Structure 1
Amino acid sequence: MARTYAIGDIHGALLALQQIIAKINPQPGDKLIFLGDYVDGWSQSAGVISYLMELEQQCDCIFLKGNHDAWCESWLAGEKPDNVWLFHGGISTVESYEPLSDAERTRHLDFYSRMLKYHIDEQNRLFIHAGFASLHGPDFERYEKNYMWDRTLWEMAVGLNPRIRKTDLRFPKRLRLFSEIFIGHTPTINYGISEPMKAANVWNVDTGAAFTGRLSALNIDTKKYFQSDVVRTLYPQEKGRNQY
């Protein structure tokens, strides 16, 4: 039976990503949905993008764009580096790109430009890096930054009384629009949880790989998951985003 995995925020941790892919061992028919934030943090951001571009040739992959990816894309396109970006992991990303030729950077820039804002599958499951604010869904979102930055969707789900079911009129309209929602962006370790975390009908797959957590891949049907080693143990001479 074909499997679909949602994979959380990688943040430059190529070694963790390689562990996850080895554990999944993708087979023909499987699908990998990456929830964004491939760069910024550990030292191999450019390597992560190169690896994903190779993986795309071998597997059925969907790549969503995160806020950190948008920052990097703007820089690769020639814009002045955003100081907020540099402070929040961008410096390590810039350094990772130093060995790449202009042609390689152009190929990477094309890859960033092809990343999706969100994806909705045939079972009405939404995959998005952060969230959306429109009560009518992401198709009607007025502010594109919300796809990559919004935390209110997740905060709403976390704050909802678990006894309130989807059929209850008190269940938030934004959450009712989809059977399930899969996001990254906000590390579950902020809530003391090191595994993929469910709140209402929202699954958060960012398990803090950029900081003190692991990279995770969640089977969206069975809800079984794979995790890498604690990422900072894979990069013992680095701090990742723990220094920011």
Structure 2
Amino acid sequence: MSRTLVIGDIHGAYIALQQILERANVTTDDTLVFLGDYVDGWSQSIQVIDFLLELRLTHNCIFMRGNHDELLLNWMKTGKHNELWFKHGGKITAEVYAKVAEEKKAIHQAFLEELEDYYLNDNNKLFLHAGFTNLHGVANEFAPHMFYWDRTLWETALALDDRLDRDDPVYPKRLKVYNEIFIGHTAVTRIGKTTPINKANVWNIDTGAAHKGPLTIIDAETKRYWQSEPVYTLYPDEDGRN
């Protein structure tokens, strides 16, 4: 049976990516939805993108754009130093790309340029990196960068009173547009968790792979999930984004 499997923020953790794909027994029948942030944090961003380029040749893959992917793309295109990016995982990415041939850089740049802002499937399930701000949904978003930068969608879902009925006039309109919304971007380790968290109709799959948590893959229908080992244990000589 085919599955829609959603993968959280990888942040250069190639070893962890291999673990979750193996543990979930991924096959060519599955649709793989990657929520973005393939780079920055751990030292194998290049290996991650190389692998994804190969994976899409044999599997049905949908790749979202994360804010870190956009930051890397901007650096590739302009070469400008970005101190804030460097402090949040970009430094090690810039260092490893400095050792890569221009031909490979061009291939990776093309991959980053082709990333999707969001994916909406036939079951009205929305997949994107961060969120959106328009009350009528992603097609009406006035600021597309919010798809990979917004945190207010998750903050709204997280703060929502579970007792509030969906039909209540004060229920957030954004949370009524889609049956379910799958996001990454804001690690659940911020609230002391390391597993996927569901609030209202939002599923947060960023389980902190860039920090002290594992990388996660989840079945969008059954909500069964598989995780890697805590990523920092796979890179004992590195600091990630800590």
TM-score normalised by L of structure 1:
0.96
SS at 2:126 equivalent: strand
Amino acid at match of 1:142: F
1 CA distance for matches of 2:227 and 2:26? 15
The count of residues paired between Structure 1 and Structure 2 equals 242
Superposed displacement of residue 50, structure 1: 0.8
> Does residue 110 of structure 2 align to residue 110 of structure 1?
yes
2 CA distance for matches of 1:191 and 1:94? 30
**Which residue number in structure 1 is paired with residue 222 of structure 2?**
222
**Which residue number in structure 2 is paired with residue 70 of structure 1?**
70
1 CA distance for matches of 2:145 and 2:83? 18
TM-score normalised by L of structure 2:
0.97
In the alignment, structure 1 segments of 5+ residues that lack a partner are: none
Amino acid at match of 1:106: A
1 CA distance for matches of 2:69 and 2:15? 19
1 CA distance for matches of 2:184 and 2:82? 22
Superposed displacement of residue 144, structure 1: 1.7
Counterpart contact for 1:35–1:129, Cα < 8 Å? yes
Matched ranges for 1:79-228 at <5 A: 79-228=79-228
2 CA distance for matches of 1:103 and 1:25? 33
2 CA distance for matches of 1:98 and 1:25? 35
2 CA distance for matches of 1:51 and 1:96? 16
Superposed displacement of residue 191, structure 1: 0.7
2 CA distance for matches of 1:18 and 1:100? 22
Superposed displacement of residue 66, structure 1: 0.5
Counterpart contact for 2:28–2:58, Cα < 8 Å? no
1 CA distance for matches of 2:41 and 2:25? 26
Q: Once the two structures are superposed, what CA deviation does each residue of 1:74-122 show, in whole Å capped at 9, x if it has no partner?
A: 1112341322111111011012213321111100011001100011000
Superposed displacement of residue 165, structure 1: 3.3
SS at 1:57 equivalent: helix
2 CA distance for matches of 1:81 and 1:183? 29
Amino acid at match of 1:52: L
Superposed displacement of residue 221, structure 1: 0.4
Superposed displacement of residue 49, structure 1: 0.8
Task: State, as a whole percentage, how many aligned pairs show the same letter.
Answer: 48
Superposed displacement of residue 60, structure 1: 0.5
SS at 1:241 equivalent: coil
**Which residue number in structure 1 is paired with residue 53 of structure 2?**
53
Q: Once the two structures are superposed, what CA deviation does each residue of 1:144-171 show, in whole Å capped at 9, x if it has no partner?
A: 2211111100000001111223333332
Superposed displacement of residue 70, structure 1: 0.1
2 CA distance for matches of 1:92 and 1:165? 46
Amino acid at match of 1:43: S
Amino acid at match of 1:205: I
Superposed displacement of residue 214, structure 1: 0.4
Q: Once the two structures are superposed, what CA deviation does each residue of 1:191-225 show, in whole Å capped at 9, x if it has no partner?
A: 11110000000000000000000000111100000
Q: Once the two structures are superposed, what CA deviation does each residue of 1:42-68 show, in whole Å capped at 9, x if it has no partner?
A: 011111111111111111000000100
- Closer, same or farther: CA 196–15 of 1 in aligned 2, 3 Å: same
Moved over 4 A (4+): none
Counterpart contact for 2:124–2:178, Cα < 8 Å? yes
